[in-house]
């Protein structure tokens, strides 16, 4: 693989990872649980502090279905850093600021860091694992 090929591959991976992260945030904030679950591999998992590992589509659907928005909310994900990658797998670290709209207006509720693992499934980058780390 030439140097140019490597660069092109990285841009493809970065675009796929960024698209998955954005789609996750938007599906979650819209309450579109089925769309959100489809962003995970069939054996994909989420690790949430004080809750633990939620693994597989059925468990993810149940969990995210229970966390659906009750007021307007936004997961604003930024600083997406690809930490390792090849044609089949990638990892990234990103920051998220979670805000909700209450009676007093918009307020930051949670700030966290996502540690994500992705697999390339037939050209679509899906989450194989997302670990959340709250900033306290």
Partner 1 sequence: MSGQASATAGIQQAIAAYAQALDDGRTDDVIATFCEDGAAEFPGSGRIEGHAALRATYSQLVPRAPQRHVLVNTRITTCDDDHATAVSDLVLFGRGEAGWSIGLVGRYDDTLRCVNGAWLFQSRTLTFVE
Q: Residues in the site for partner 1, rule: CB under 8 A?
A: 3, 6-8, 10-12, 14-15, 76, 78-82, 93-95, 97, 107-108, 111, 135-136
Q: Which is closer to partner 1, CB of 47 or CB of 95?
A: 95
Instruction: Give the length of the chain.
Output: 136
Helix (H, G, I), strand (E, B) or coil at 76: strand
HSE-CB at 133 with a 13 A cutoff on CA atoms is 7
Instruction: Judge whether 106 and 90 are in contact, CB under 8 Å.
Output: no
C-beta atoms surrounding 128 within 10 Å: 19
| Residue 92 beta carbon to partner 1: minimum distance, rounded to whole angstroms | 9
| Residue 99 beta carbon to partner 1: minimum distance, rounded to whole angstroms | 9
Q: Which is closer to partner 1, CB of 33 or CB of 92?
A: 92
| Residue 101 beta carbon to partner 1: minimum distance, rounded to whole angstroms | 15
C-beta atoms surrounding 123 within 10 Å: 7
Q: Which is closer to partner 1, CB of 5 or CB of 66?
A: 5
DSSP element (H, E) containing 97? strand 89-102
| Residue 135 beta carbon to partner 1: minimum distance, rounded to whole angstroms | 5
């Amino acid at each position: 693989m030439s140097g140019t090929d490597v660069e092109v591959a990285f841009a493809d991976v970065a675009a796929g990872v960024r698209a998955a992260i954005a789609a996750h945030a938007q599906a979650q904030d819209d309450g579109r649980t089925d769309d959100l679950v489809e962003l995970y591999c069939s054996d994909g998992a989420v690790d949430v502090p004080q809750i633990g590992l939620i693994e597989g589509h059925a468990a993810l659907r149940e969990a995210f279905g229970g966390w659906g928005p009750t007021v307007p909310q936004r997961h604003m994900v930024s600083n997406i850093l690809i930490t390792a990658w090849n044609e089949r797998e990638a990892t990234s670290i990103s920051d998220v600021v979670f805000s909700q709209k209450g009676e007093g207006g918009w307020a930051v509720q949670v700030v966290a860091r996502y540690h994500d693992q992705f697999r390339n499934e037939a050209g679509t980058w899906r989450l194989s694992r997302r670990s959340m780390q709250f900033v306290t």
